[in-house]
Structure 1
Amino acid sequence: MVTKASPTAVSANSGAEEAGLADPGDTQLLAKLGYKQELRRQYSTVQIFAVAFSIMGLVPSIASTIAFSLPAGPAGMIWGWFTASILIFFVGLALADMASAMPTAGGLYWWTHYFAGQKYKNALSFLVGYSNTLGLIGGMCSVDYTLSLMILACVSIARDGDYSASNGTIYGVYVGLILVHALCGIFSGPIMPRIQTFCIYINIAIIIATVIALPVGKVSRGESLNPGSYVFGHVDNDTSWPTGWTFILAFLAPIWSIGFFDSCVHMSEEALHAAKAVPLGIIWSSGCACVLGFLVLSILAAVMNQDVDATINTVFGQPMAQIYYDALGKKGALGFMGVLIVIQFLIGLSLIVAASRQAWAFSRDGALPFSNYFRHVSRRIRYQPVRAIVGLVVVCIIFGLLCLINSVAANALFSLFVASNYVAWGTPILCRLIWGKERFRPGEFYTGWLSRPIAIVAVIWLVFGLILSMFPSTGPNPSASEMNYTIVINGFVWIACMTYYFLFARKWYTGPKMTVDGVEGDTTDTESGKSDDASTVR
């Protein structure tokens, strides 16, 4: 690896200082990766953590995914979360090592290209970039679709369960939410760091309120809490799978919930002191999800109806709404669901910000269709990738048309964000293990001699989680409406991506390009496979 930036990097550094976009240290490190500073650095370490913590939105995420773990009973729900979240934390540690050494908005596909063997680097980088981009799009669709269901669930609660929204109504609310998120993402750029700080407070507040209010409400209604033997020891089976496998399928809840700590990576070029802020954001967010998720689920298990099937098949359409209703009554349930809706909205806002940075970075390297158009950064709107945001919104509105068919079709599309992201996370870690032993140079955050063992555990978990995400949750012989179509949707995406690459993109996609001082070029020497002066880390 080269230890200094090229002259053009110095020029880019000076330009960025003049524009007030970043301090010299961050700009020089980015120049060593081959890029000039185009976005404004304004996110502190806490605010970078807030982006990932906000997107996880622990309580609303649990509300959205609890149907995956409830069939295993309270013990499966709690211990499934605890086990899977620890393994997911290993993934966060493995990504944090690379994020500190090479902090760039397109981190996952950039690292893949950097570490992979010469014959495979372009194809794998292309695959990871598309998987990550489509995974984030799937996440945006999923968050706003779930938010529309939560809003309509409140309408149902207010009408005592006598209201059921049509697919057309669900889609209309979904489109409205996507558009509002786009407008907020574009025009709230200057205050977005403060919005992210607020997200920490409101997420912590709903966790504390849930932990305190649910047991108090349950007792005040003259009902006793479920005993500890039930909360931590009762395993149920509301599927036709064997009980042991139903417990394993409960892992899907944390897999879906703790799914976007890579958003810290996509904010790398807006982070102050990115080599420290980004890795800390990753490990803080994934670590908090492990501990706080265990706490929240323990309280839910203590207050929920012991008839698990009644909670799963609630007339409100949301098991979490039923749990709130049982413990707090109609007004209490509406109050908590209202707060969850606000937090879910903030999740969508944070996600569109992170997703737009990935799409912008991938366009900067010429990989997405109409890249020259989408790579534009608006100086008039405070250095925001406005066109990338608009492009994502159009795609989400088109994909959301599946809402008009049924929930099975919608969920099949939205499963993109699990399988695609697991491929996007696992590939650079695996490439580093296979080819990158001599190329990796630690950044300010480093797990030391444990780095490779951690990476091995992370890869094993990601492969297992990827396979698990494709299982039908109800049983081994699902009907068409119960089938898990993740393999169909993601298989199509991966095959289409690779077909597009080998037929067309391989002729022009050569990996990340230099933009230092505004001059584009390939960051990798194709003869030697080694990075040039403007593209390496230290």
Structure 2
Amino acid sequence: METQEAVAANTGAEDPTLAEARDMELLAAMGYKQELKRQYSTVQIFAVAFSIMGLVPSIASTISFSLPAGPVGMIWGWFTASILILCVGLALADMASAMPTAGGLYWWTHYFAGEKYKSPLSFLVGYSNTLGLVGGMCSVDYTLSLMLLSCISIARDGEWSAGRGTIYGVFAGFVVVHGLCAIFAGPIMPKIQTACIYINLIIMVATVIALPVGKVTRTGSLNPGTYVFGHIDNLTTWPTGWSFVLAWLSPIWSIGFFDSCIHMSEEAVNAAKAVPLGIIWSASAACVLGFLVLSIIASVMDQNINHTLNTVYGQPIAQIYYDALGKRGALGFMGVLIFIQFLIGLSLIVAASRQAWAFSRDGALPFSSFFRHISKRIRYQPVNVICGLVVVVVVFGLLCLINSVAANALFSLFVASNYVAWGTPIICRLIWGKARFQPGEFYTGSFSRPIAIVAVAWLSFGLILSMFPSTGPNPTPSDMNYTIVLNGFVWVASMSYYFIYARKWYTGPKATAVNVSTDNSDGDKGYEASQPKLE
């Protein structure tokens, strides 16, 4: 077996200490030399996704989707949708183990798609994924600003509320701070991710214990089990059954960042194992722990759901904590949620920067030669692309100044665009890739294709669901769901850009490893050169 130094020399890696030989060889098989430092263990890769999901703050920020359907919508809606989302995670985990690279989604699309569709579909997926992550960053930091400002409202007994200018100013400040932390805390980011696991578990345990204890202390009883697990409300003008389905939007928004494990592939030790396990562990933990947390919330919340939804504190979860724990208890828990939400934003910009960097490495983003640069002074961090993301998010966030409708349309980039990005490579594998797929260390075996079919069906349905107005079939302009408008613009614009201009030079992933062909006219030669059994 070749030494680590020999493998680094053969693949073009500038520093043999960046990764173990097996990881450098697998990456080179896909056409890339090792440029980022592999410092994330399996647990830390899981921590990235688990941290970004941040179950309690994520539930806090999305509970308004499920509250109109009552406890049944909250709890059983979460359970149903999270099982289906887990199928998506399993389908992606199969491919992530076989071909772990930071730009995995668009890379797999290019690899599996039919010859005529490789480049345009890969281009679409890359832009959908990149802008979906940008939308996620906007959503997380906007929610963070609302959480912080809701604490001020609680402290002033609901007699103060922030204007849009104030909200945007706090939002922009958090985005800039996240960018600086992502750059300069890069060398210790794996340890930060490990700490995030414990912090998230602590807030979950505290919520599960403190809310019922506080509720019993203040009122003498909890909501009965028949209410918690069997009561149905419908505060929309949709039929009750569809109101329950719309409650699935809460887990759709909350359990949506396990693809961050994929984007950290080139910094994972033993990526073929670490990345798929990170995906599966995070999706499974969200399913089980989210069910538990929502059950506790339903047991303590006011049975008059309108009171919670229309709270003067700006956040339904703030009202729930206030009702169960009083002013001081609510402020204490909201303070912890704000800290965790800050960590969510930090983890997200790290993952998003890896996707944007990978897409720049393949020349697909404007100013790619600038954004693909890796800073060796700051321990192999993609500094330029992190700064670029900060600027883009701050600019996109200006939509929040218009009204909440414009803000929600921006945030919808996360769900709709990412669902397209996740579903496309799975579809390509099902249609064209049966003979080309070679399993990695993780594989679901004979269940792989059925799971992939379920995943595609769910993603298609979830994509449509994300475009429904949540209040009813005849929404006012302020209640309308403009997801299709903004996401449609992204898809049409990216495809127009491709066919008018980018098709002249974008032919798919560009090989950078020295032991593979740099002729990318066939798109996959780098991978296939080292994997002749695939074809």
TM-score (norm 1): 0.96
Shift of 1:327: 0.3
Query: Given the alignment, which residue of 485, 488, 496 partners 2:485?
Result: 488
Identity %: 77
2: CA distance between counterparts of 1:67 and 1:223? 27
Question: Is the counterpart of residue 36 in structure 1 residue 33 in structure 2?
Answer: yes
Shift of 1:222: 3.1
| Paired position in structure 2 for 1:306 | 303
Distance 1:520 1:372, change over 3 A: farther
Q: Which amino acid aligns with 2:411?
A: F
Q: Which amino acid aligns with 1:298?
A: S
Paired residues of 1:524 and 1:530 also in contact (CA < 8 A): no
| Paired position in structure 2 for 1:406 | 403
Q: How does 1:307-386 map to 2 (within 5 A)?
A: 307-386=304-383
Query: Given the alignment, which residue of 440, 446, 451 partners 2:443?
Result: 446
2: CA distance between counterparts of 1:435 and 1:94? 15
Query: Given the alignment, which residue of 202, 207, 232 partners 2:204?
Result: 207
Shift of 1:519: 8.8
Query: Given the alignment, which residue of 2, 17, 20 partners 2:17?
Result: 20
Paired residues of 1:16 and 1:22 also in contact (CA < 8 A): no
1: CA distance between counterparts of 2:525 and 2:114? 8
Q: 1:422-449: per-residue Cα shift (whole Å, max 9, x none)?
A: 0000000000000000000000000000
Distance 1:242 1:12, change over 3 A: farther
Question: Is the counterpart of residue 140 in structure 1 residue 140 in structure 2?
Answer: no
Secondary structure of the residue aligned to 1:533 is helix
Q: 1:289-315: per-residue Cα shift (whole Å, max 9, x none)?
A: 000000000000000000011100000
2: CA distance between counterparts of 1:302 and 1:13? 61
2: CA distance between counterparts of 1:136 and 1:322? 29
Shift of 1:407: 1.3
Q: 1:93-118: per-residue Cα shift (whole Å, max 9, x none)?
A: 00000000000000000000000000
Over the aligned positions, Cα root-mean-square deviation in angstroms equals 1.9
Paired residues of 1:32 and 1:537 also in contact (CA < 8 A): no
Secondary structure of the residue aligned to 1:473 is coil
Secondary structure of the residue aligned to 1:521 is coil
Paired residues of 2:30 and 2:527 also in contact (CA < 8 A): no
Query: Given the alignment, which residue of 166, 175, 183 partners 1:186?
Result: 183
Q: 1:134-172: per-residue Cα shift (whole Å, max 9, x none)?
A: 000000000000000000000000000011100000000
Paired residues of 2:10 and 2:515 also in contact (CA < 8 A): no
Shift of 1:523: 4.3
Paired residues of 1:11 and 1:517 also in contact (CA < 8 A): no
Secondary structure of the residue aligned to 1:123 is helix
Paired residues of 1:96 and 1:282 also in contact (CA < 8 A): yes
Distance 1:378 1:469, change over 3 A: same
Q: Which amino acid aligns with 1:46?
A: V
Q: 1:50-81: per-residue Cα shift (whole Å, max 9, x none)?
A: 00000000000000000000000011110000
| Paired position in structure 1 for 2:509 | 512
| Paired position in structure 2 for 1:238 | 235
Paired residues of 1:48 and 1:267 also in contact (CA < 8 A): yes
Question: Is the counterpart of residue 77 in structure 1 residue 74 in structure 2?
Answer: yes
Q: Which runs of 5+ in 1 are unaligned?
A: none
Question: Is the counterpart of residue 159 in structure 1 residue 156 in structure 2?
Answer: yes
1: CA distance between counterparts of 2:207 and 2:59? 12
Secondary structure of the residue aligned to 2:219 is coil
Q: Which runs of 5+ in 2 are unaligned?
A: none
Secondary structure of the residue aligned to 2:36 is coil
Secondary structure of the residue aligned to 2:377 is coil
Shift of 1:220: 1.0
Shift of 1:223: 2.9
2: CA distance between counterparts of 1:536 and 1:371? 31
Paired residues of 2:11 and 2:25 also in contact (CA < 8 A): no
1: CA distance between counterparts of 2:292 and 2:199? 17
Distance 1:337 1:419, change over 3 A: same
1: CA distance between counterparts of 2:45 and 2:22? 18
1: CA distance between counterparts of 2:509 and 2:533? 14
Q: 1:147-198: per-residue Cα shift (whole Å, max 9, x none)?
A: 0000000000000001110000000000100000000000001100000000
Q: Which amino acid aligns with 2:195?
A: F
Shift of 1:517: 3.4
| Paired position in structure 1 for 2:284 | 287
TM-score (norm 2): 0.97
1: CA distance between counterparts of 2:43 and 2:501? 42
Distance 1:516 1:237, change over 3 A: same
1: CA distance between counterparts of 2:531 and 2:492? 30
Distance 1:37 1:416, change over 3 A: same
Paired residues of 1:13 and 1:31 also in contact (CA < 8 A): no
2: CA distance between counterparts of 1:524 and 1:466? 33
Query: Given the alignment, which residue of 57, 60, 71 partners 2:57?
Result: 60
| Paired position in structure 2 for 1:119 | 116
Shift of 1:317: 0.6
| Paired position in structure 1 for 2:88 | 91
Paired residues of 1:153 and 1:316 also in contact (CA < 8 A): yes
Secondary structure of the residue aligned to 1:20 is helix
Secondary structure of the residue aligned to 2:529 is coil
2: CA distance between counterparts of 1:530 and 1:388? 25
Shift of 1:535: 7.6
Paired residues of 2:106 and 2:425 also in contact (CA < 8 A): yes
2: CA distance between counterparts of 1:344 and 1:139? 12
Paired residues of 2:215 and 2:300 also in contact (CA < 8 A): yes
Question: Is the counterpart of residue 176 in structure 1 residue 173 in structure 2?
Answer: yes
